[in-house]
Chains A and B, each alone.
Chain A
Amino acid sequence: MAMVLSEEAGMLKDAAKGFLADSAPVSQLRKLRDTESADGFDRDTWKAMAEMGWTSVLVPEAHGGVEMGHVAAGVIAEEMGRTLTASPFLSTAVMGATALTRFGSEAQKGEWLPRIAGGKAITALAVDEGRKHAPAHVETRAERSGNGFKLNGKKSFVADGHIADMLIVSARTAGGDAEEDGVSLFLVPQDAAGVTIERASMVDSRNSARVILDNVELNADAVLGDVDNGYKPLEAVLDAGRAGLSAEMSGSAQECLEQTVEYLKERKQFGEVIGTYQGLQHRAAHLYSEIELGKSIVLKTLQTLDLAPDHAAMMVSAAKSKMGSVAQLAAQEAIQMHGGIGMTDEYDIGFFIKRVRVAAALFGDTNYHTDKFARLRKY
């Protein structure tokens, strides 16, 4: 498959770039932060995204979607990374849609997919419990109760948790605390009795929550996929999200570089534009090279998810590892090359270093995915 965007994806990219620059630039995130928005995202922007088909990018046509695939979803995420647009796109349109499309029963698909596609429902994945990403470490319990299950446990770092209509929760139905076997996935309505969702205030001003499950009673049809065998589906959903986050970070890294290069062409010191100095030129040129590599492995990974989703794990980890470190380098270098002004809240660069730090940590940081890559390579 050619490593260039199709004409269709190229048009989507142009459309996304134009819309986000006009309707959801960094100033929108700044405003959400400064006004302490209760939602943490702009509902009018979300509605417009749904009207453009973004929320249905991974939903099959049979359920009201446009099913354009992961490359297309990545194109949108990348452009959102340039504007730091706050929205539940990744948690809902990428991960929620992947979970239900690939692993949902017909009833579950019928209930959720049209609403996801229409921008009417928001979903969130509740997987982590500890300080670091560890999807197999599941202490949350789901015990059989009547003809269903009773859930108890705590989840943290749940992106878009407090605005979600439905949580996809990993819980243990068998096995020890760190075993992959015995993990099951449940669809939990946010208003189910015993569910407490507490919003966390994050460094990137984006939505994240802690979720407490206290004797949450669910019917058997709340299980996504098979009981005890939820780990593989969970990994597939995570991989879709990780690839999307990598695409988002790619956009953020490119934006950091471009803004920095523009600044190097304007700022004068010692009587010269500072972009004439080789010390800065080489830093910028090295960063450019790293970002080009990141862009390539992200595109390759999104293509792999479209062509062979069951064989994408190694590429996904490679991309998340690489893009996580490249995007963090880009944000750090952007501040250094901007100098003092880059440290001011008034300047946008600070929003990038904060978001990239969170995006790099979400669903496994660079260290996690470097280690996972090595494990998949059997060393």
Chain B
Amino acid sequence: MSDLETFRAETRAWLEENCPPEMRKPMTGEGDACWGGRNWTFQSEAQKVWLERMAAKGWTVPEWPVEYGGGGLSKEEAKVLRDEMKAIKARSPLMSFGIWMLGPALLKFGNEEQKKEHLPKIARGEIRWAQGYSEPNAGSDLASLMTKCEDQDDHYLINGQKVWTSYADEADWIFALVRTDFDAPKHEGISFVLVDMDQPGVTTKPIKLISGKSPFCETFFDDARCEKYNLVGEKNKGWTIAKYLLTHEREMIGGTGTGAMRPMGDIAVQQLGLNDAGQLCDPVLRTDVARAEIDGLAFMATMERVTDEAKSGQGVGANSSMLKYYGTELNKRRFELMMDSSGHDGLEWDQENDVARHWLRTKANSIEGGTSEVQLNIISKRILNLPTA
């Protein structure tokens, strides 16, 4: 047996023994997810046990190095773990901006102390992170952000406001872009800092969205304190980290256009039924659904191709913008079709699948993490090499 097959057998056995039965059912909504953090209340004993066991193996972050709380797995081993978890429908033990965003940035740009301090707490779900990027006057033009970070000799003093900070009202720490030089060109005076939100100088206020939910907040810094050792990378070089993270975020949001979701055609058949010819009762919707499914297949094949090209060194880096653009527009299309298919039932608040709220939420997909128009600008400049005026 090859090493990888041995690993697969061991992983399967371990999961079989350690994944509680309650954690082997699909999540019914965001309410089932485990986000961790200082103030987290586990929804069940099974959720708690599952997180603790996975974290002890380092498998909340399988590919991170062991010394930072990771599993130290190779890409191939991590894929085996994902496949085996999928096979028993195991839930992800921990959802976390720390895992998806800050972690990769710290691994690439952080110093040893920062990695040792922050990564294990992310891996174990002890600290929940928020992202502080956008400001009221810095949306698509993110680099014009004005949150002020002043050097006070032994610490930094932060004043300003962030907006669209996801779940900031439930977060413990925030990673934020701040201005450390007001005289330099806008991209060259930005720094990347880590701020403990448990202090009087940091307050949050949820923003109610058209979906009726409040996944985002405004976050205010009023003489907030940041220790000097919590500036990541070089001072005034934070834009490099921001760009790296935005690429990550784009890939993540772009991925919502695919995959794990139930095929739109199956949903429409269930909701509307077939006619005597075995075709979906709404013939126009049938065509739209088929087109959307075909585009979904083409998009998934593209995700696969872009990943494989990157592995073999033929990748086009800016393709993450293409994936973000297409994936989010496709997801919006999918939810428009979902609303068409749900008919009058879908127009009620608080009905079974909450389809209306999800439909409304998707409208942000092509805005957050860089609008579709910003992605098209990036494709024009970085891939097609079209000139700027």
List chain A positions with a Cβ less than 8 A from chain B: 2-4, 261, 264-265, 272-273, 275-278, 281-282, 284-286, 288-289, 292-297, 299-300, 315, 318, 321-322, 370-371, 373-375, 377-379
Contacts and interface: CB of A to CB of B under 8 A. Distances in A.
Interface residues of B, number: 46
A296 B290 contact: no
A289 B287 CA distance: 22
Contacts of A295: 302, 305
Contact of B386 (A3, A284, A294, A297): A284
A285 to B, nearest CB: 4
A289 B326 contact: yes
Given A261-B386, A276-B388, A4 B309 contact: yes
Contact of B302 (A296, A315, A371, A374): A296
Q: Is the interface of B mostly helix, strand, loop or mixed?
A: helix
Contacts of A300: 297, 301, 304
B125 interface: no
Q: Give the 4 A-B CB pairs with smallest separation, nearest first.
A: A296-B301, A285-B379, A281-B380, A3-B305
B13 interface: no
A377 B279 CA distance: 10
Contact of A289 (B286, B297, B304, B325): B325
A272 B389 CA distance: 7
Nearest to B373: A282
A250 B49 CA distance: 51
Given A276-B388, A322-B294, A379-B265, A296 B304 contact: yes
B376 A370 contact: no
Given A300-B301, A322-B295, A379-B265, A282 B380 contact: yes
A288 B278 contact: no
A371 B286 CA distance: 9
7 contacts: A3-B307, A4-B308, A265-B387, A275-B386, A285-B377, A296-B305, A300-B304
Contacts of B295: 293, 322
A370 B294 contact: yes
B245 interface: no
A4 B298 contact: no
Interface string B272-300: 00100011100000110111011101110
A378 B290 CA distance: 11
A288 B301 contact: no
Contacts of A293: 295, 298-299, 301-302, 326
A278 B372 CA distance: 13
A243 to B, nearest CB: 14
Contacts, number: 130
A296 B298 contact: yes
Contact of A299 (B305, B311, B387): B305
Contact of A374 (B279, B380, B387): B279
A374 B384 contact: no
A292 B302 contact: yes
A281 B268 CA distance: 36
A281 B290 contact: no
A374 B290 contact: yes
A104 B282 CA distance: 43
B78 interface: no
Given A374-B290, A377-B290, A379-B280, A284 B297 contact: no
B322 interface: yes
Contacts of A289: 322, 325-326, 379
A297 B301 contact: yes
B383 interface: yes
A85 to B, nearest CB: 26
Interface in B326-342: 326
Given A3-B304, A4-B314, A378 B376 contact: no
A134 B335 CA distance: 33
Contact of A265 (B269, B312, B325, B386): B386
A275 B308 contact: no
A284 B381 CA distance: 11
B380 A377 contact: no
Nearest to A260: B384
A371 B309 CA distance: 32
